[in-house]
Structure 1
Amino acid sequence: MNIFHKLISWITTPIFIVVFYLTLCVFHVLQVISLNLWGYKGHKKSVDYMVFWLMQGLRTVGARLPNMKQPSLPTDRPIIIVSNHQSIYDVPAILWTFRKYHPKFVSKKELEYGTPAISYNLRHGGSVLIDRKDRKQALTAMTQFSKYIEENNYAGCIFPEGTRSRDGNILDFKPAGMLMMFKSMAKNPPIVVPVVIDNFWKMQRYSFKPIPFGINFFLKVLEPIDMKVWLEEGNSSTSLIAETEKRIKEALEESRNQKN
């Protein structure tokens, strides 16, 4: 980062932070009102608007937003969105891209409270909060979450790396969460949708001090894999996870090679 770029980044970062927290505070109130007056549908609509404005807020730091065109997927089957993980902004980008399919997230319990709007949505929007220190709680919560996704034909989103990548390189997948979801959805096998994201890690490259100006965000929805067909062809759930990881890694590498 040269001196001019750093100067611009330091000027725009405080603007972004103000817009970010203002958006969260406004939509925290709107979520509470919407949920209490109109139930799930009203709450979901408020979340859709929130993530739209969170993404638009990135323009204050000169960001170029990723392609977030909604994919064409079945609405009568459960969906599992599998993505690499780079920053806090992975979530709103995926929420907006898959808004038609009611995406819900597997998240850590530490986020249950403390952040306006985000914590409220995690508690009331259908996502699951996992205590990584309590295996029994985690297994029970994941089973209940998977059944909820299966019964409602929603989309469950999981980051199999378990934590965000600080340099954008994909960490090895931890299969336990996905295997639990597959096992719980045995009666109605899901559509698995690999998603690759990139450059989101650059937001937190300097721990927001500052946010580099002009990041070109990347998001691509890859070819879905029908788990039912996959298993009927004699493959295993474990090999499905390996195939999903392989496709995401290859897509990320291909994207980076095109930029060079």
Structure 2
Amino acid sequence: MENSGVGMFLRNGRFGSYFDANSGIKSAATPPRKVAVKERKMLETNDLGAEEDGWFVAMISWARIVVCFVSMMFTTFKWAMIMVVLLPWPYQRIRQGNIYGHVTGKMLMWILGNPIKIEGAEYSSERAIYISNHASPIDIFLVMWLTPTGTIGIAKKEIIFYPLIGQLYVLANHLRIDRSNPTVAIESMKEVANAIVKNDLSLIIFPEGTRSKNGRLLPFKKGFVHLALQTRRPIVPIVLTGTHRAWRKGSLHVRPAPITVRYLPPIRTNDWAPEKLGDYVRLVM
């Protein structure tokens, strides 16, 4: 994988000075309870986007988002042309889709400028079902960049209507499901499982099914366990920390919060039994 040499990026000095400044906040003149309340309010303000950053920081944030959008449109258009040429070769389109993700995801994270620490990278090249928590648009950039070549994704069928991105998704031979119809969704999952086994692929999926607003883990859908039972692929959890502070759901404010990407050891599924499906969902959570 392209991230094999990735370590800790230099931390933003602003965060270091923030913690240094607060290291001596408890003084003899300040009651402990008041300090606790003050610290909690400070953390809540940080999580809500840090309005105190001011207009200058907001303008930098908007500029980063615009540059991300323009850059992504450029790489998407370029790889769309490659995909059209590769129409007769589905697996090559999957591979090119992954290369697009590695290049574009890494580029977008570089533009955003968040310090990133990656842990457990030795588990990042498994043929597996990768699952990740989801609280920010940044999560998508990270999994594009850090999932291995030979990985497909699953999205709702409506993604085809997203300009350029949706068409590239389909051209890259990634899979879509109809979430509005449970019967059709189950059949779609069977097709996904067959494609994974037949082509020796990995899968990336967000088991919560939607983004969390506050970074807390939402209940898992059962689809990834169904796929594990049908493919016997191990499950590799990817824990993303700090992305909801860096770019909140529904916000246009990107902050330089540090991010940690942690791969956990694979969870083997060879001996899993269908009747314990609910237990496996709780186990992985």
Corresponding position of 1:80: 129
**Equivalent residue of 1:227, what SS?**
coil
Q: Does 1:164 align with 2:211?
A: yes
In structure 2, what is the equivalent of residue 60 of structure 1? 111
Picking from 264, 271, 280, the partner of 1:222 is: 264
1:155 maps to: 202
1:27–1:50 contact (8 Å) kept in structure 2: no
Q: Residue 98 of structure 1 corresponds to which residue in structure 2?
A: 147
Say whether the 8 Å CA contact 1:70–1:98 is kept in structure 2. Answer: no
For structure 2, the residue ranges without an aligned partner over 5 or more in a row are 1-49
Q: Aligned partners of 2:220, 2:249: CA distance in 1, in Å?
A: 25
Query: Alignment partner of 2:224: what SS?
Result: helix
Q: Distance in 1 between matches of 2:221 and 2:156?
A: 15
Residues 200 and 20 (structure 1), Cα distance of their counterparts in 2 relative to 1, 3 Å cut: farther
Greater mean alpha carbon deviation, residues 40-49 or residues 22-31: 40-49
Q: Structure 1: give runs of 5+ residues left out of the alignment.
A: 246-260
TM-score, normalisation: structure 2 = 0.69
**Distance in 1 between residues matched to 2:260 and 2:214, nearest whole Å:** 15
Structure 1 vs Structure 2: percent identity of aligned residues?
A: 22
Q: Does the CA contact (< 8 Å) of 1:104 and 1:157 recur in 2?
A: yes
**Aligned partners of 1:47 and 1:121 also within 8 Å:** no
2:91 pairs with 1:40: yes
Query: Shift of residue 196 of structure 1?
Result: 0.8
Q: Which amino acid aligns with 1:198?
A: T
- Quote the offset at 1:191 in angstroms: 0.9
Q: Give, in whole Å, the separation in 2 of the partners of 1:152 and 1:142.
A: 15
Amino acid in the other structure paired with 1:26: K
Q: CA deviation at 1:81?
A: 1.3
Q: Secondary structure at the match of 2:67?
A: helix
Q: Deviations over 1:166-205 (max 9, x none)?
A: 2211111122x134213433xxx22111111123334542
Which of the two has higher C-alpha Rg?
Answer: 2
Residue of structure 1 in register with 2:26 after alignment: none
Instruction: Find the counterpart in structure 1 of residue 242 from structure 2.
Output: 199
Question: 2:94, 2:151 within 8 Å by CA — same for their partners in 1?
Answer: no
Deviation at 1:106, TM superposition (A): 2.0
Q: Which residue of 1 aligns with 2:20?
A: none
Deviations 1:229-259 (A, max 9, x none): 5x49xx94432321211xxxxxxxxxxxxxx
2:152 aligned with 1:108: no
| Partner SS for 1:207 | coil
Aligned length: 232
Give per-residue Cα distances to partners, 1:15-62, cap 9 Å, x unaligned: 2332232232232223323x2476532651354144323322232232
Match of 2:68 in 1: 16
In the alignment, the residues of structure 2 paired with residue 28 and residue 192 of structure 1 have an alpha-carbon distance, to the nearest angstrom, of: 30
Partner of residue 281 from structure 2, selected from 241, 245, 249? 241
**What does the per-residue CA deviation read over 1:125-144, in whole Å, with 9 as the maximum and x for residues that have no partner?**
34321212112221111111
- Whole-Å Cα distance in 1 between the matches of residues 257 and 124 of structure 2? 29
Residue equivalent to 2:46:
none
CA change 1:51–1:32 in 2 (3 A) is farther
Q: Indicate conservation of the 8 Å contact 1:84/1:195, yes or no.
A: yes
Name the stretch that deviates more: 161-170 or 10-19: 10-19
- Residue type of the alignment partner of 1:220: R
User: 2-side partners of 1:64 and 1:196: how far apart?
Assistant: 16
Distance in 2 of aligned mates of 1:11 and 1:182: 41
Q: CA RMSD in A?
A: 2.9
- Aligned equivalents of 2:250 and 2:125: distance in 1? 39
Look up the SS of the partner of 1:27 in the other structure: helix
The one-letter code of the counterpart of 2:284 is: T
Distance 1:7 1:178 in 2: 40
User: Hey, what's the Cα distance between the residues in 2 that align with 1:201 and 1:52?
Assistant: 23
Conserved in 1, the CA contact under 8 Å of 2:76 and 2:168? no
